[in-house]
Amino acid sequence: MASSASSSTAVEVRKHDVFLSFCGEDTRTTFTSTLHGVLNETSINVFIDDELNKGEEISSSLMSAIEESMISVITFSKGYASSRWCLEELVKIMECKKTQKQSVIPVFYLMDPSEVRNQTGIFGDGFAKLVESFDEEKLNYNLAKKVIEDILKILNFMSPSKRTIAKSVFDKISNQFEGSYFARNIREESTGRYGLTWMQQELLSSILKHPIGFTKGRLGRKQVLIILDDVTTSEQVESLIEISTLGPGSQIIIIATDKQVLRNCGADDISIYKMKGLPMNEALQLFSW
């Protein structure tokens, strides 16, 4: 069986999806811990300063991490402005926002946005009493969930063309195969309530029409095309299809932003293709269209 893999994106692929900027004393064990945990569960690559190796120059490491991130989440809390490191991070993030078009998501944790904007007092007594009436754990999770929704929207917006190109390929050549299936948004679907179970059933139904009994033998007699979009782990592929059971001449196209994921799926360097961005004049023309 021949297989191929594709790694593609319309924008520069950076080391991290998200950089977290926060005041450790205020939010490390509360909101930031919750946000970090849910980001990991959603398979979003996140940088947090706990990852710094001992002995590293903290300032240069943090500055590099900011530059290598697609999105920065700034959690403004009562102690943020009193931290020299937080303010240096903020300056660097604003620089990257201007020069690299980095996306920035501000989070006001137990703070009124106007206090940050106007640099006034932390918050009034009335606001403090209101915050105390909330269950802190519920507040942390709900706020983290809202931030992650924004992060996913930005990540999807920043890399739409890999899906578009793959769909164009699928539409053009799928009629050359005895069966075909395009698995969309695997990263997102894998975190749902039922995981990828329903997608596996849909894949088999699309290829076999009636996937009841002797599935491996029937797959082995078919030449099929399967495109797997936004794969983040080899386990996702394994849960959808056993590649070795597909018939001769079948093609598997895997779309991922991490080359190691493709290697883990069995692709060698020859079969991995990295999409390059358009030249400036062609990009502007496409944007105009």
Q: Which of 12, 67, 89, 178 is catalytic?
A: 89
* Phi, psi values for residue 21, rounded to 5°: -110, 125
- Using DSSP's 3-state secondary structure scheme, residue 249 falls into coil
CA distance 6 to 14: 17
Q: CA neighbours within 13 Å on the CB side: how many for 143?
A: 26
123-132: string of b/e by CB count within 10 Å (b at 16+)?
beeeeeeeee
Gap between the Cα atoms of 111 and 129, Å rounded: 12
User: Residue 144 CB: number of other CB atoms within 10 A?
Assistant: 21
> Phi, psi at residue 69, to the nearest 5°?
-110, 145
Q: Could you tell me the two tokens for 96?
A: 């990257």
Q: What single-letter DSSP state applies at residue 72? A: E
Q: Is 57 considered catalytic here?
A: no
Q: Which of 154, 165, 152, 158 is nearest to 275 (CA)?
A: 165
b/e per residue, 255-286, with b = 16+ CB within 10 A?
Answer: bbbeeebbeebebeeebbeebeeeeeeeeeee
- Which residues form the catalytic set? 89
